């Protein structure tokens, strides 16, 4: 798994909400579905596409192949080599980006209205006729291996990787989705081509658009862009078994500060109690200054620059995770405080004031997320892959308002397991050792 913090924002954005933004359901003549927000104020369109599956589709002996394949999508397509493709894209002033994570591959595009047809053709070329030229494969393979080497020396990444490995073992979630130096070195062009065909497929695609385009034009664009992708791809992985017990794991790393990742099992996104669970997390460890952990660990004692927890529901497992860094002398007291906060909430619950404050914050901040074509398209595609209905935006705040102190008490008992909290500490923390 990788880039959890970046994606965490998307999970939050993908929460249901109540904005007064008219979302259209579009079905192309060829049957491809998308959500659209039309806004003709600025002459460009933002397009967001997700393919479910992602790096968890890697065959067991080819860890990293989906990640490498994704990085190669715009390194040459059709009759254009890597430089030719980049020149064509830049000449259109179009912006494309491709990314892969545990559960999906993402394609983001922005193009000017005046270049819409040409930009669509070029993106189509990349999605359907990537060349995977030998020299491009070797060049990008070198970049990926370089990233793997950098991650191996980054304490925050080491902490996260160790947590994943102990939690999920041999399931794809248990290992880095960029692969290892060895696994990436062993990937062949045939492996990459196969990964491409297995993952960029029509029956797992989710699309959202926002900006200067109408439903009819979007439908035509979608057929042109995605119509000739393979209908279906590789089987999705099974659910992952969470195997981590409470405790502490110390990974020695010479540094004045320790990086800590901690967590326990979380809750599924489609669980009926997800909303109260989300509110509980915000009260306890949300990345705001008023959250309990930020108040106790940073504001009152100065033990860290920042601490936050978040719910991390994936397709095949669910986590509740947190992260902070502290000087080696401060780690043990900070961990003590976190355990204490966890235990205090279990013992006493949240207060009526906290519940009222989090309702005001979450309902009030919701519309602020929808300020721009790019952000709107990103939110809409996230809602779709999470299975939320198109009118969910209108009911989201009502669901938050409806949560009672009893609901919170129920979810506290169900979700928070102080004895299950596991802390992975990468550094040289004073007075901490790995628990048996």
Partner 1 sequence: MLRMLLLPVVLTIAATGAACADKVTTFTLNNGLEAIVIEDHRAPVVTQMLWYKIGAADEAPGKSGIAHFLEHLMFKGTATVAPGDFSKIVEAQGGNDNAFTTQDYTGYFQRVAADRLELMMQMEADRMRGLILTDDIVKTERSVILEERAQRTDSDPGALFSEQRDAAQYMNSPYGIPVIGWRHEMAALSREDALNFYHTYYAPNNAILIVAGDIAPDAVKALAEKYYGPIAPTANLPIRMRPTEPPQLAERRLSMADARVAQPYVIRTYLAPERNSGAQDKAAALTYLAELLGGSSTTSVLARAMQFGADAKAIYTSAFYDGISLDETTFGFVVMPVPGVSLADAEADMDKVIAKFLVDGVDQAAFDRIKRQLRADDIYARDNVGGLAREYGASLTSGLTVADVQAWPQVLQAVTPDAVMQAAHEVLNRKNAVTGWLTQPVDPKTEAKP
Cα–Cα distance between 118 and 122 in angstroms, integer?
A: 6
Residue 264 CB, nearest approach to partner 1 (Å): 21
Measured from the CB atom, the residue of 249 and 330 that comes closer to partner 1 is: 330
Is the CB of 138 or the CB of 431 nearer to partner 1?
A: 138
Nearer to partner 1 (CB atom), residue 32 or residue 303: 303
We find the least distance from the C-beta atom of residue 125 to partner 1, in angstroms, to be 16
Q: What are the structure tokens assigned to 65, written together?
A: 């192949």
Rounded distance between C-alpha atoms, residue 21 and residue 34, angstroms: 16
Contacts of 67 (CB under 8 A, 6+ apart): 55, 100, 144, 177, 178, 179
By beta-carbon proximity to partner 1, the closer residue of 26 and 260 is 260
> Between 78 and 367, whose beta carbon lies closer to partner 1?
367
Strands 205-211 and 44-52: antiparallel
- Rounded to whole angstroms, how far apart are CA atoms 130 and 102? 22
Among 336, 287, 312, 281, CA closest to 167 = 312
Tell how strand 95-100 and strand 104-112 pair up. Answer: antiparallel
**Nearest approach, Cβ of 156 to partner 1 (angstroms)?**
9
* Complex with partner 1: residue 88 or 201, whichever CB lies closer: 88
Q: Give yes or no for a contact between 177 and 1, defined as CB atoms under 8 angstroms apart.
A: yes
Q: Which residues lie closer than 8 Å to 284 by C-beta, 6 or more apart?
A: 291, 292, 293, 309, 341, 342, 345, 416
Instruction: Residue 374: name the closest of 221, 216, 225, 212 by CA.
Output: 212
39/420 with CB nearer partner 1:
39
Residue 6 or 405 having the CB closest to partner 1: 6
> Least CB distance from residue 31 to partner 1, whole Å?
30
Q: Smallest distance from the beta carbon of 78 to partner 1, in angstroms?
A: 16
Contacts 24+ apart (CB under 8 A), 238-243: 238/171, 238/316, 239/316, 239/317, 240/168, 240/171, 240/172, 240/173, 240/174, 240/316, 240/317, 241/168, 241/169, 241/171, 242/167, 242/168, 242/317, 242/319, 243/166, 243/167, 243/168, 243/169
Give bridge partners of residue 180 from the DSSP assignment.
none
CB of 246 to partner 1, least distance (A): 26
**In angstroms, what is the minimal distance from the CB of 191 to partner 1?**
22
Q: Which of 102, 282 has the CB closer to partner 1?
A: 282
Q: How far is the CB of 289 from partner 1 (least distance, A)?
A: 4
Q: How far is the CB of 53 from partner 1 (least distance, A)?
A: 26
- H runs (alpha helix) in 20-154: 65-72, 82-91, 116-128, 134-151
Nearer to partner 1, 325 or 384 (CB): 325
Identify the helix (H) or strand (E) that includes residue 383.
helix 373-385
Min dist CB 286 to partner 1, Å, is 9
């Amino acid at each position: 798994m990788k880039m959890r913090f970046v994606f965490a924002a998307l999970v939050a954005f993908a929460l249901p909400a109540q904005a007064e933004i008219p979302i259209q359901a579009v079905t192309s003549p060829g049957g491809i579905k998308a959500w659209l927000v039309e806004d003709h104020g600025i002459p460009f369109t933002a397009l967001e596409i997700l393919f479910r599956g992602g790096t968890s589709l890697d065959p067991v002996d080819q860890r990293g192949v989906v990640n490498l394949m994704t990085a190669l999508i715009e390194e040459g397509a059709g009759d254009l080599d890597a430089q030719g493709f980049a020149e064509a894209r830049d000449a259109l002033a179009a912006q494309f980006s491709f990314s892969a994570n545990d559960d999906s591959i993402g394609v983001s595009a922005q193009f000017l209205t005046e270049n819409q047809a040409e930009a669509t053709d070029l993106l189509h070329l990349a999605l359907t006729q990537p060349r995977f030229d030998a020299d491009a494969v070797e060049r990008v393979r070198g970049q990926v291996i370089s990233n793997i080497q950098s991650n191996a020396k980054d304490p925050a990444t080491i902490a996260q990787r160790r947590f994943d490995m102990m939690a999920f073992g041999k399931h794809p979630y248990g290992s880095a989705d960029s692969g290892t130096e060895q696994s990436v070195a062993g990937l062949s062009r045939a492996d990459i081509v196969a990964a491409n065909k297995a993952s960029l497929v029509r029956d797992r695609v989710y699309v959202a658009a926002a900006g200067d385009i109408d439903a009819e034009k979007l439908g035509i664009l979608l057929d042109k862009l995605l119509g000739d992708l393979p209908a279906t791809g590789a089987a999705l992985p099974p659910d992952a078994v969470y195997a981590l017990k409470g405790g502490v794991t110390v990974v020695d790393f010479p540094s004045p500060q320790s990086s800590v990742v901690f967590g326990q099992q979380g809750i599924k996104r489609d669980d009926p109690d997800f909303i109260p669970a989300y509110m509980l997390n915000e009260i306890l460890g949300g990345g705001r200054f008023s959250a309990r952990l930020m108040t106790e660990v940073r504001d009152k004692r100065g033990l860290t620059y920042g601490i936050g927890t978040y719910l991390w529901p994936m397709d095949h497992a669910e986590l509740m995770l947190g992260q902070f860094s502290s000087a080696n002398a401060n780690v043990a007291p900070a961990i003590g405080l976190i355990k204490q906060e966890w235990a205090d909430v279990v013992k006493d619950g949240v207060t009526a004031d906290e519940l009222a404050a989090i309702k005001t914050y979450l309902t009030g901040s919701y519309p602020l997320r929808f300020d721009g074509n790019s952000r709107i398209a990103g939110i809409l595609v996230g809602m779709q892959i999470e299975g939320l209905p198109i009118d969910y935006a209108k009911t989201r705040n009502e669901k938050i308002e409806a949560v009672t102190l009893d609901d919170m008490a129920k979810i506290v008992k169900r979700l928070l397991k102080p004895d299950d909290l596991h802390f992975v500490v990468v550094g040289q923390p004073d007075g901490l050792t790995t628990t048996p």
